[in-house]
Amino acid sequence: MGQPVDEFPLEIVLSIVGIVVALATFLGEFVLVGRRRLGYRVQMDTPVTGEVEFPAPATAADPDVTGVLRNLRTTTDGALSLVLVRIENSGSLGINDGDYTMRIRDRESVGLHLCFPEREVIGVAVTELQGVPRENLGHDSGIGRRVERSASSAEGRPATLTGIVDLPKVPLERGDHYKVLAVLNRPAGSGHAPEPTLSGGMRGGRVVKTESNGRPPWILVALSLFLLTLVVVQLVVAVVRPDPPPRDCAAGDLTVVGSSAMAPMIGKAAENYRRTCTGARFSFDFTGTEPGLRALTRAGQTETMLAIGDGAKGNSFQSLTEHPLALGSFSMVVHPDVGLTDLTTSQIRALYRGNVVNWQQLGGPDLPVVLIDRTAGSGTRRALESRLLEDNRKVFRYASCVGMAPGGAQCEVDVTEEVAVFVAKIPGAVGYLETSAAGDGVRAVTIDGVGPSPDTLRGGDYPFTGVEYAYTHGPVAGDSLAAQFLDYLVRGKARLTVAEFGNIPCGDPAVSKFCTP
């Protein structure tokens, strides 16, 4: 199945196009072609008009005084001009005499033609030899001047002439150059003569006209404008186009019930999901694991409810399906006045079996022990009883912690938040809760000298742990909000939220053995 149009990665395509164009331009300009390049630039092309000349013209008093330019004009029939052409290695590789590809019979030493359309060459001088030995452009090098004439055509086009300076195959290292100064005559014609050109061939490169240093090459200007346009388009797309929804996005209504210990984690995951999946609507009823499982069972087969629980459902609630989410940890917490920082597993069993009634028995202060318990059906309470108490504890008559009379040995609360509240409020109190819910008003103690951490959970060293589950009633459609939010919790970005609350996603290979239902 093809990708939906609204998820087409336009920004990625634009980025790839920009990279390809920039790379192709660079390779074409500086690597594939530009590595060996002979350039030329016309630095001067000016007529010799002679409005003012020195020495002065001959007079009757001194008939031998004449100007050199006047002498030139008396021997030619046309307009004089002076041209200065710089010839340079403008590439990234050196040029040898074997790199010139021009082949002229009986003139193997010639590698370039400097052409002056509509003008003939009267005289030539080579100057400014930068890195070029003098003998490479001497009389025996093959340098020379000549003129080529074309006959008039049958269509009536007049005959033309072209002055040519033959240049030898001069080796040039990178940055080397020389200049050719030519005295030219234009026998006929008016206005400016055509620009000089340099023709020839270069193995693995080319002969090009070098633009002025003050003006960047057109290809670089075009590339810069293209890349600027590309960046602007990407910016507009990023600002105007909303972020595409994640693959596990769905719309609809979903009620999440169950464990109060997991309420903060699930609530934050739902909030993050809702930011991108704007069609999703959540409601919550975190009153405990067993009340949540009962509510889901009563709702029957549905796609609009999901239950969250601490620990497996056991032999109850056979119609519900378990989905392992994460390995979580719980902590024993005490009132700050108790002063203890560690409890052994044996001491915890003694506390909840009623064998320890005063903290003095465990090396603490003279304070009566008050057990802050969760009500029956709590997943956290089941985790305490199965993981630490060997399912063997004293059964107390139910008493609410709200308004408990002084001297009470045990009381019960409905949700996790109330455990922290009453442990902090009652001197001598001890309780248990989700590790992430332990606030500043209570003291979390280690168990057998080990505290909860990712390493101790993965290694199985910390004893007070439990697997957190999601539950569905019957199968749910893969595109429903229940299925997609569950996938988001197990395999999507919500794994970061799970880890933020001190839990380890069941997708982590190190804890997969604990997550088997």
For the chain, which residues make up each domain, given as ranges?
Answer: 1-32+211-244, 39-49+70-200, 252-328+467-505, 329-466
Contacts with 169 (C-beta within 8 Å, 6 or more apart), sequence order: 97, 98, 100, 109, 110, 111, 142
| Per-residue confidence (pLDDT) for residue 65, from 0 to 100 | 54
| Per-residue confidence (pLDDT) for residue 387, from 0 to 100 | 93
| Per-residue confidence (pLDDT) for residue 394, from 0 to 100 | 92
Task: Give the orientation angle of helix 379-387 with respect to helix 289-299, to 10 degrees.
Answer: 120
Cα gap 110→140, rounded to integer Å? 11
Cα gap 249→94, rounded to integer Å? 61
The β-bridge partners of 40 are: 87, 209
| Per-residue confidence (pLDDT) for residue 2, from 0 to 100 | 39
Percent of the chain with pLDDT over 90: 51
The pTM of the full predicted model, rounded to 2 decimals, is 0.53
| Among 13, 182, 189, 6, CA closest to 84 | 182
| Per-residue confidence (pLDDT) for residue 66, from 0 to 100 | 58
In CATH terms, the fold of domain 329-466 is: D-Maltodextrin-Binding Protein; domain 2 (3.40.190)
Contact 194, 118 (CB under 8 A): yes
Secondary structure letter of residue 357 according to DSSP: -
In CATH terms, the fold of domain 252-328+467-505 is: D-Maltodextrin-Binding Protein; domain 2 (3.40.190)
Task: List C-alpha distances in Å: 261 to 123, 185, 412.
Answer: 100, 100, 15
| Per-residue confidence (pLDDT) for residue 139, from 0 to 100 | 82
Helix boundaries (H) for 5-116: 10-26, 68-75
Contact 411, 373 (CB under 8 A): yes
CATH architecture designation of domain 39-49+70-200:
Sandwich (2.60)
Residue numbers of the chain with a pLDDT score lower than 50? 1-7, 33, 214
- 39-49+70-200 matches 329-466 in fold: no
